[in-house]
Amino acid sequence: MQKRILGKSGLEVSALGFGCMGLNFGYTTAITKQDAVKLIRHAFDKGVTFFDTAEAYGPFSNEEIVGEALEPVRDQVVIATKFGFRNGRPADGLDCRPERIRQVAEDSLIRLRTDRIDLFYQHRVDPDVPMEDVAGTVKELIAEGKVRHFGLSEASAPSIRKAHDVQPVTALQSEYSLFWREPEKEVLPVLEELGIGFVPFSPLGKGFLTGQITRNTKFGKDDFRNIVPRFTPENIEANIVLVDHVKEIAVEKKATPAQVALAWLLAQKPWIVPIPGTTKISRLEENLGGASLELTPADLQKIEETLSRMTIQGDRYPKHLQELVGK
């Protein structure tokens, strides 16, 4: 597995990380703790050194899984986790008060079975707490050795600048894929200017870019995608042309659509590190193949031409969740 450095921070990670959320949160494909630990360790054996979790996933139990899985190899991996929600539960609203950030850090250290958090993200920008206070608190935690790097998730360009003025931001985590290119407008230029790495989550469009979702797909009753406008049957029907095109390139490259989608992301900037997630070893190994797939300038141009001719239909979040991003 190739390595990449997140911006100018010096934080080196595998070119593809592993998003741990879906192991037991957000989808109806949750697996047993034993199988989740096994999967994370298999990812490490295959060269993955960057693992992403959050107190809100579960809540709390996802961090415990990651901590148990990575304890034997703790010094060989980078663990990212997040603070930002009241009581660790997104449904309870935001809470990024300094005292809450400190409490999350202490609790996460215990669950992760570690003495430091490598990358500590603000999960969502809290409009009720000045960014200067948030960044200042993380700066103190870094000085105390409890945190190594500061990150933001789904933050706007102005918020990134405010935070970076107080404590250098190592990475921004936001959704980015062939299915969602909004960060290219304002966020990516700011990250490049300031030397901040970018960690795309949902790099496979929440499964859409794998080619496995059709207009007839039925999601489980607790699956997050049931409330995502982009996954209504009519919007799947409208957007399937993108997947069909990705499939064509995949056939030419003797690869899979997922591998093409991940290779496309890696080709955008050398400081981009996607974090695809899965619950299956076969899918994990398929995804990792995307790191070694090279798309030629002609391949990238063909993809660009297809995207320029179409408009992806459907919002990526329902209204109540969309209100939490881009602040």
Catalytic residues: 57
Beta bridge partners of 150: 120, 169
Q: Which of 12, 24, 99, 11 is nearest to 56 (CA)?
A: 24
Structure tokens at 289: 């193949």
CA 24 vs CA 78, 81, 110, 184, 299: distances in Å: 20, 15, 19, 31, 36
Q: Which of 115, 118, 81 is nearest to 101 (CA)?
A: 81
Phi, psi of 147 (to 5 degrees): -130, 145
Burial 290-322 (b: 16+ CB within 10 A, else e): bbebebeeebeebbeebeeeeebeeebbeeebe
CB–CB of 225/231 below 8 Å? yes
